[in-house]
Structure 1
Amino acid sequence: MGITKAICFVLVLFFTGSITANNSKFSALKGNPGLRSASAIVLDSGGNLIYGKDIDTVRPIASITKLMTAMVILDAGLDLEEDIVIADQDRDFIRMTGSRLSVGATLQRRELLLLALMSSENRAAAALGRTYPGGLERFVAAMNSKAASLGMYNSQFADPAGLNADNVSTASDLARMLAAAQGYPMITDATTTLHRDVQPYASRGPLTFNNTNRLLKNANWKIELSKTGYINEAGRCLVMSTNIDGEAVSIVLLNSFGKLTPYGDSNRLRKWMLASSRT
């Protein structure tokens, strides 16, 4: 997984782009959560804004990209049981990160989707794009077409793994993307799976891959969808749909510096929301 094992954090639910009156317990929070992420957005289940910080600044999004990759693959209705062989073209020639999926490793398309979402596996994502009908160029075009259909007008996709810094979006656009991703059970299941064994080599034993979001192991969090990502240009980020105090909320945290900062910001948000809603 290499460099994308880091943590672009987005916690997101249904975002319509409008802010309306609502009866959410979080509709009139006071004070400021003191987040360190450069951009952040928090929404309730109706798409109403709970908190926003620099939500329309265009930023690189690193492996948050892989959520769009998964949606495009699933929209295409491709055979998820088809065996796909990792090829030399799937290696990371941008940042030269490594992978435990060597050239020649073979997994089903379903397993590659799981590893791309759960462990942010770059070669898995690259292989998914390469084997899309029409090849990688057609796949990237489909990513951008999907973004446009979701109203993500300040977003651009350039590769399926998120290694290219030209994969860019805004916190508000990513809220739209994550709301859409919640409609795919395979994505919600994969992104909240803690670990999975796969066997990409016939002559070797299984390999264990783990989820990159450590909050999934925290009993205080009830997470329904999550995605992490990192490159230098994007900083640390995290995506997640979650439930706080019995209410579904979404949060986008972009461009955090410090390996644990997205997790710290997530906990600061949760503490602020709980304290403010109970006063």
Structure 2
Amino acid sequence: MKRNFKAALMVVSLLGLGLGTPLQAATAKKQELQASKKVVAKSATKPTRKMAGKAAPSKAAAAPVKFKGKMVHAAVEKSKKPMRRVSMADIDPGRLALYSASALVIDQNTGQTVLEKQPNAVLPIASISKLMTAMVVLDAKLDLQEVIAISDEDVDGLKGTRSRLPVGTSMTRETAMLLALMSSENRAAHALGRHYPGGLQAFVQAMNRKAQSLGMYNSRFEEPTGLSSNNVSTAHDLARMVTAAARYPEIRSYSTTAEAKVELNGRVHNFGTTNPLVRSDNWEIGISKTGYISEAGRCLVMQARVADKPVVIVLLDSVGKMTRVGDANRIKRWMESAGLTLERRPV
């Protein structure tokens, strides 16, 4: 009996050893795998000798660079993510929330349209007319140092606007042009037209001939100041006029003068620009002219450099005193947005 019991114990122990062996082997294998994972994770977090001092490939590292004998730290970009270039055609100009009824931006390098909003609407242009007035005077090669005088004929009988130039004030033709372009002085502009060879009627005819020669087929001028709502044009036509005006050094200079001291009737008067963007360090403006009558709303035309490109900006019939300036700044920020590529469209 005892012998049989001992035999049974031996069989059970032998079976236990046989069953335990694969279980222990599996447990050991599992522990070995866990240990190997820890080693891999540890090696991934610690830089090797070759990678020591370097950042991950997708990040920029500050690496010491020797420059003119001195050690400086420069950011070294190892790799960049691919950047999607966005066309301006992909961005709805309506998102700019332009408050001008008509707007146009032209790339002067190519003559192509960058942005447009009702560019062919025929609208009153107010004092934007004075750019044409200046071109006609300069085309006639009249003596800019000749003295002209303000008369009763130059007083605004249409809108009753005020002027800082009393009747009888004398000034050179050059000063009159400066005040007309910089401060939008209506009496100065009217006097320029009245002192044209053949008088005011001949001057207006010359304005319309000039417009036709520039391809401004939807434009008409009735007088030199813009006080008449019959002085009309389109954004497309005005872009052509601004481009032409930019070829005259005098117009570029006078229209972008921020302020000037002018001696009139023995007294010095301070005059300033009607375009606050001329005074801004954020703008590089080559040509500038504002305009306003009730029928035209607030208007602004400029030739400027935006996003490293020479452009012509036309804004007509803006609502609110500062809206045209706000629209110009919105256009500028839009053009300067990173990754924008101009969509080429014919004028």
> Which range, TM-score by smaller chain?
0.7 to 0.9
2:182 maps to which residue?
Answer: 118
Query: CA shift at 1:278, angstroms?
Result: 4.8
Give the secondary structure class of the aligned counterpart of 1:216. Answer: helix
Matched, 1:53 2:117: yes
2:102 aligns with 39
Residues 248-279 of structure 1: per-residue CA shift (max 9 Å, x gap)? 11110000010000001011111111126459
Residues 128-182 of structure 1, C-alpha deviations (whole Å, 9 max, x = no match): 0000000000000000000000010000001100000000000000011111001
1:223 aligns with 2:285: yes
Matched, 1:251 2:318: no
Determine what percentage of the aligned residue pairs are the same residue: 54
Instruction: Go from structure 1 to structure 2 and tell me whether the alpha carbon gap of 1:221 and 1:123 turns closer, same or farther (over 3 Å shift).
Output: same
- Written as runs of structure 1 = structure 2, the 5 A alignment for 1:1-279 is 28=89, 30-32=91-93, 33-45=96-108, 46-202=110-266, 205-275=267-337, 277-278=339-340
Name the SS of the counterpart of 1:180 in structure 2: helix
Displacement of 1:217 in angstroms is: 1.6
Change in Cα spacing, 1:34 to 1:133, as seen in structure 2 (3 Å) is same
Residue identity in the other structure for 1:228: T
In 1, Cα distance between the equivalents of 2:306 and 2:148? 39
Q: CA contact under 8 A between 1:65 and 1:162: conserved in structure 2?
A: yes
Q: Distance in 2 between matches of 1:127 and 1:199?
A: 17
Contact 2:87 2:340 in 1 (8 A): no
Q: For residue 21 of structure 1, what is the aligned residue in structure 2? A: none
SS at match of 1:206: strand
1:194–1:216 Cα contact (<8 Å) kept:
yes
Q: CA deviation at 1:218?
A: 1.6
Deviations 1:230-255 (A, max 9, x none): 00000001111111121111110000
- Report the Cα distance in structure 2 between the residues aligned to 1:129 and 1:121, rounded to whole angstroms: 13
Q: CA deviation at 1:216?
A: 1.3
- Distance in 1, matches of 2:116 and 2:327, equals 13
In structure 1, give the amino acid aligned to 2:112: N
Query: Within 1, Cα distance between the matches of 2:184 and 2:87?
Result: 32
- Which runs of 5 or more structure 1 residues have no equivalent in the other structure? 1-24
- CA distances 1:9-30 after superposition (whole Å, capped 9, x unpaired): xxxxxxxxxxxxxxxx976562
Residue equivalent to 1:14: none
- Tell me the TM-score normalised to structure 2 length: 0.71
Return the structure number with greater relative CO, CA threshold 8 A, min gap 6. 1
Q: State the distance in 2 between where 1:240 and 1:114 align.
A: 17
Q: What SS does structure 1 have at the residue aligned with 2:264?
A: coil
Contact 1:72 1:143 in 2 (8 A): yes
The aligned residue for residue 9 of structure 1 is: none
- Larger Rg belongs to: 2
Q: Which amino acid aligns with 1:157?
A: F
Structure 2 SS opposite 1:199: strand
Structure 2 residues without counterparts, runs of 5 or longer: 1-85, 342-347
Q: 1:29-80 CA deviation, whole Å, 9 max, x = no partner?
A: 6232221100000011221000111011100000000000000000001010
How many Å separate the matches in 2 of 1:74 and 1:27?
38
Aligned length, in residue pairs: 253
Would you tell me which structure has more helix in proportion to its own residues? 2
How far, CA to CA, are the matches of 2:90 and 2:134 in structure 1?
Answer: 35
- Distance, in Å, in 2 between the alignment partners of 1:276 and 1:67 is 34
If the length of structure 1 is used for normalisation, what is the TM-score?
0.88
Contact 1:30–1:276 (CA under 8 A) maintained in structure 2 = no
String of CA shifts for 1:84-113, please: whole Å, max 9, x gaps.
011110000001111111011000000000
